[in-house]
Structure 1
Amino acid sequence: MIGWDAMAWVLALGGFLLVRHELTLSERMWVIAMTYVAAAVALQVVGGFVTHLYLGRSKVGSFDEVTSLGRLVVAISVVLGAAFYIAAPLFSRGIAFIMPMLAFLIMASGRWVLRVARGSDRRKGSRLPEVPGVPALVYGAGDAGHQLAGLVDSSDDPPYTIVGFVDDDPSLRFLRVRGYRVLGLGADLVAVARAKGAEAVVLAITEASPQLIQDVSDRCTEAGLELVVVPPVREMIAGRIELDHLRAFNVADLLGRRQVETDLTEIADRVTGKVVLVTGAGGSIGSELARQVQALQPAKLLLLDRDESALHATKLSLDGDGLLDTEDTVLCDIRDREAVCAVFNRLAPEVVFHAAALKHLPMLERFPDEGWKTNVLGTRNVLECAATNGVQHFVNISTDKAADATSVLGQTKRLAERLTAWYAGQTGMRYLSVRFGNVLGSRGSVLDTFRAQIDRGGPVTVTDPEVTRFFMTIPEACELVLQAAAIGHPGDVLVLDMGEPVRIVDVARRLIEESGKDVDITFSGLREGEKLHEVLLSRAERGRDTAHELITQVEVPRLAPKDLGTCLPGRGDDRDLHLDFSGIVPVLPSHGTAAGKGMR
């Protein structure tokens, strides 16, 4: 490369003098021109080593290498042009302006020829795979599609043989991706696949929407085509595709492909070096919160739960210590106010993530008093003890069911949000709530239910064919909870962007397809207190933007603990508790539902 670049300066000089001066120069001009070339070659070699151009900094012929080469040539032309203009009055300005450009073109042309020759040799030398890859049509002719085609071409034993591309951009209809032609639009997917004998479709769009993924999946299923997806950027290293990372379409793809970006510096300022308490640490959200908080190096991480087995599992996952003989694991029921306050008095937490709650909607519809005791009174106890002991930061984990609440779960979590806002006003500290929807893969989630039903041979029960829910993965939800904690203000309710709602029946069908079993889906009808479509904001709420694009802020009316109402014991041995919500939340219609019977 050094020899070629040196020769490029000589050839550039010869070409310039031939065209401009027909090689007729005075002896002095020849001396100046040759001196310029010699100086340029010397600077080229020195600069090439200083910038690592000749030490393998970039792949030969790559855009990065040619860019670095261009910068070096420009620098040489400026330095030498200024020096010769001052030192040699007879210096031809054309040499300073034209010759470096000619030299750069010759250098770049040599690299292009070398790269083409190497690619041709590689293709000639590569042996045909023993087993031909599965004929595949690639959906997406963008960067991911180009990377995929390059990997298939350079692999000795590629799993797929590309038959062509389709793309939704009509302007790409004449595009060739490494020789593979774009054969049509995304709408032509099935027709093109059949015409070309494709057996698989590779979705090479790393930021595809859930709607597009589901639509492609449905069409592939109907046509008997295997759907393979390029993983989202967050699942790849440095955004680079690898053939062994291609995978079958799964349930997580239904949630969307956006990457959650969090400001770890701002989050760390709230947690690092602080004593942090996580209530409900044995649950899915609580345990993941504990793991992410631990990575931010708190002074001490306290885990509180009433379930000793769940607490043991979380502790074991954090540090492998299952003895449970240290004060950082606390067995306590948040319903017990005195026990909770004793924990705060003894351990003095500075930051609290309150994830302890009862969450199963149909169970709470049957036993509303249990929801009241844990989600409302338990939260009040934790808030009161936190405020009394000077906790600086309190994050209450809420749910989208608190917006326009129609269920016991939604109403109790709504009350918890309002209590948190009241304590924020009293203390002036960052006491706030974070509201989000269903968490994919959490304990007792719809995935667990569906998989258990599939394992038993079905049927899979879905309430309604049109019912939709918002979903997030557990790590994504916890990352945004931490981010919300960093940017929230006292009394805020911060609502996480859940993307687009997903049809529950699509989740069921995807899980059945993954299992490979022939399982039926039955529809049971909506349960008491259950909505067809969840909302993240109630009709009376107006969301405001925050510093994070995936987090919205809303205000809720504050509710003092003394206004919670009274618990009225019923008659008989069952001691049915009637919860007085009058004046606190909209009164539920009393039409024989569990909510109407248990709450007024």
Structure 2
Amino acid sequence: MRKPASGRFAHFVETYGGLYLLDVMAWAIGIIIALVLRFDFAFTRIHWGWTLAVIGVAAALQLLFGWVFWVYRSRYQIGSFDEVRAVVFNVTAVTAVTWVFAFLVGYGNGIPRSTLVIAAPITFSVMGVARYMIRILTERSLKPAKAERVLLYGAGYLGIQTAKRLLTDAKSEYLPVGFLDDDPAKSNQEVRGVKVLGGIQDLGRLVRSTGATSLLVCIGDADAGMLRRLDTEADKLGVNVMVLPPLNQILDNSASISSVRELSIEDIIGRHPVRLSTESIAEYLQGKRVLVTGAGGSIGSELCRQLVNFAPKELIMLDRDETALQEVQISIAGHGLLDTNDVVLADIRDSDSLREIFVERQPEVVFHAAALKHLPMLEQYPDEAWKTNVVGTLNVLNAARAVNVGTFVNISTDKAANPTSVLGHSKRVAEKLTGWMAEQTGNRYLSVRFGNVIGSRGSMLPTFRNLIEKGGPITVTHPEATRFFMTIPEASQLVIQAGGIGRPGEVLILDMGEPVRILDVAKRMIAQSGKDIEIVYTGLRHGEKLHEVLTGDGEGNERPFHPKISHAHIGVISPDILDHDGWVARLNLTDAAEGRVQ
């Protein structure tokens, strides 16, 4: 309920009465100093009666215009730039009207015409200093009294805002005591008394001199390589490394700057997400009917959650796992009733059913995420890879061609580059079939290839966590084995971006930075758990590579649209020459590493 006028005035007097009195004093000081300067310090020439009258008029007008310009009505933070602007308008208005009064009474009464002109900047300066002191005292009262001392890595915009936020939050658990920044241009920078003390090479010295026990990373674009370096250096000193929540969570108020968290294994081995070209994405998704196969999987479900942000006319989620469909429906629609037409239960191995669904729903954009992905399992059962990854993909392609789908994105894997496993061969054939369909239709049928996806079902990190919880041991195939890693949101962003910039028949590949040694990941996870876990080496499994590659021999590395996305060109294969018997023969367990599919 709105307060009555008397209540609002009482609140004004209680809250801003002191500030108003300071402003009146500022006018008194300004006017008196102006007269002293005007009369060359001849105090006897000052007419104190009329001087007090001018000060009284200025005081009354200060209250009036202070109310008009919201200086005393809680609109602005005291000492902020917004308040400074309001005070400028306030002082200008008071000066103009008071000058008229002084002009009328000044002649012969010891008030020169220039008095107010001289007084105005002096008064504004005194007001500014008073407000600055009030703000400093207020912020000091909000400074956390008992908090963990932290160093901030990164003195850019995010670091500055983080320092300000932590210094003005009495409930904060962290107190910044210094910045680290490797940019020499910031070596003399200081924010609220928090100085840039050095770079990461000075971490040991600064930890000892400041007593800091944690290092907070304040760089929005910090990639895994940088975080691994920081983590290694901090670990030697027994210092925790922490990171801020994602910037989008801070902006939509689902997280605050003070909601820091410890560095996770995902931060260390992941990558900074590719920045999406929203214009190209909106153009091909907005108002379109979009279908996702494998919508209940790790990639497919995240893909669906991101696609809804681009306002498709209809999102059709297809999977053979009804429970997985229910889970993704809950995450997007807020219910898991499974009685709406946004979820479709079907198997991509069933060509007739797929064709009926495509003809009925008429999708315009298709993301093909359905696949079998576990390398050792498919080494044992190569026929299953044939049925799902090869024939299933062909079924989806044929159904898409039947309804003239304009954009088709096939999700592939780095194992398709120079393949040595059943999984790699099956996905390689899927890429070539997609390229063949692009030739046949002239539409944008293309593939996207990336490395291991962190946190996907059955992937390395969940497996390691389960083994650690059970007390170990952790099994690692080879001490030198390396892999490329990316998070589920990163992979989904790449897939969506590909549909906007990919050309017919291409394979788009994300620059995933440096590969990560699996043994280092295992050791880091064991260290985080605080348990004594044994690591057992099992040897590379059949068809498994020691080091993966992202681009195969002769595929090229063109980057015409995005500096982090390569456009590779591979051969095509016609479904007419697909031979199941030849597939089984070439992927015989005795020579799988040497076999090649056309």
- TM class, shorter-length: 0.7 to 0.9
For residues 300-350 of structure 1, the C-alpha deviation after alignment (integer angstroms, 9 at most, x for no partner) is 332222334433443444446555455543333323322321222233222
| Paired position in structure 1 for 2:328 | 314
SS at structure 1 position matched to 2:593: helix
What CA distance in whole angstroms lies between the structure 2 residues aligned with 1:364 and 1:50?
Answer: 76
What residue number does 1:275 align with? Answer: 289
Deviation string, structure 1 residues 254-285 (Cα, Å, up to 9, x no partner): 14674655455654453344332211122111
2:392 aligned residue (356, 378, 395): 378
Q: Is the 8 A contact 2:224 2:272 kept in 1?
A: no
Cα deviation code 1:180-217 (max 9, x no counterpart): 56555422323443455544444444443322322222
Query: Within 1, Cα distance between the matches of 2:368 and 2:254?
Result: 38
Task: Give the Cα separation in 2 of the matches to 1:458 and 1:330.
Answer: 40
Alignment partner for residue 552 of structure 1, among 550, 565, 569? 565
User: Could you tell me whether the CA contact under 8 Å between 1:408 and 1:529 is conserved in 2?
Assistant: no
8 Å Cα contact 2:176/2:194 also seen in 1: yes
Q: What SS is found at the alignment partner of 2:594?
A: helix
User: Any gaps of 5 or more consecutive residues in structure 2?
Assistant: 1-18, 101-111
**Aligned residues: percent identity?**
43
Partner of 1:567: 579
Which one of 400, 405, 421 corresponds to residue 414 of structure 2? 400
Selected match of 1:419 from 421, 433, 450:
433
Cα distance, 1:425 vs structure 2 = 3.6
2:128 counterpart residue number? 108
SS at match of 1:245: coil
Residue pairs, 1:146-295, within 5 angstroms: 146-147=160-161, 149-150=163-164, 153-156=167-170, 158-160=172-174, 166-169=180-183, 178-179=192-193, 184-194=198-208, 197-237=211-251, 242=256, 245-255=259-269, 258=272, 261-262=275-276, 267-295=281-309
Equivalent of 2:558, from 543, 566, 572?
543
1:484–1:551 CA contact under 8 A, matched in 2: no
Distance across 2 between alignment mates of 1:551 and 1:198: 37
Contact 2:270 2:486 in 1 (8 A): no
**1:119-146 Cα shifts (integer Å, max 9, x gaps):** 45667xx8x65xxx44545544555555
**Aligned with 1:236: secondary structure?**
helix
**Partner Cα distance (1:480, 1:187) in 2:** 35
- CA distance in 1 between counterparts of 2:383 and 2:314 reads 35
**1:32-181 equivalences in 2 (<5 Å):** 52-66=70-84, 69=87, 72=89, 101-119=121-139, 129=146, 133-134=147-148, 136-142=150-156, 146-147=160-161, 149-150=163-164, 153-156=167-170, 158-160=172-174, 166-169=180-183, 178-179=192-193
- The code of the aligned residue for 2:577 comes to G
Change (3 A) 1:235 1:252: farther
- CA contact 2:319–2:370 (8 Å) conserved in 1: yes
Aligned residue pairs, count: 568
d(CA) in 1 for partners of 2:68, 2:200: 48
The residue that corresponds to 1:496 in the other structure is: 510
The alignment status of 1:441 with 2:439, answered yes or no, reads no
Going from structure 1 to structure 2, the CA distance change for 1:507 and 1:597 (only over 3 Å counts) comes to same
Q: Which residue of 2 aligns with 1:471?
A: 485
Mapping for residues 6-17 of structure 1, pairs under 5 Å: 15=33
User: 1:321/1:232 Cα in 2 relative to 1: closer, same or farther (>3 Å)?
Assistant: closer
- Whole-angstrom distance in 1 between the partners of 2:520 and 2:64: 62
Query: What SS class does the counterpart of residue 522 from structure 1 fall into?
Result: strand
Distance 1:596 1:235 in 2: 48
Give the TM-score, by structure 2 length. 0.77
Relative to 1, partners in 2 of residues 1:170 and 1:503: Cα closer, same or farther, differing over 3 Å?
same
Distance (Å, rounded) in 2 between the aligned partners of 1:326 and 1:487: 32
Partner of 1:341: 355
How far did 1:15 drift? 4.9
Q: 1:273 to 1:413 in 2, by over 3 A?
A: same
Gaps of 5+ in 1: 84-91, 580-589
Cα distance in 1 between the residues matched to 2:113 and 2:499: 63
SS at match of 1:569: helix
What amino acid is aligned across from residue 567 of structure 2 in structure 1?
V
Change (3 A) 1:16 1:306: same
Aligned to 2:105: none
Structure-1 residue corresponding to 2:549 = 534
Contact 1:40/1:76 (8 A) holds in 2: no
Structure 2 CA distance for aligned equivalents of residues 157 and 149 of structure 1: 14
Cα gap change, 1:434 to 1:109, in 2 (>3 Å) = same
State the Cα distance separating 1:386 from its structure 2 match: 0.9
Residue 303 in 1 paired to residue 301 in 2?
A: no
Partner Cα separation in structure 2 for residue 79 and residue 538 of structure 1: 79
Mapped to 2, the partners of 1:98 and 1:488 lie a distance apart of 67
Pairing partner for 1:596 from 569, 572, 594: 594
Q: 1:96 to 1:497 in 2, by over 3 A?
A: farther
Call closer, same or farther: CA 1:591–1:96 in 2, change over 3 Å.
farther
Contact 1:537 1:543 in 2 (8 A): no
Contact (CA 8 Å) 2:302, 2:489: kept in 1 or not? yes
Confirm or deny: 8 A CA contact 1:397 1:433 kept in the other structure: yes
Distance 1:183 1:353, change over 3 A: closer
**Structure 2 CA distance for aligned equivalents of residues 319 and 238 of structure 1:** 20
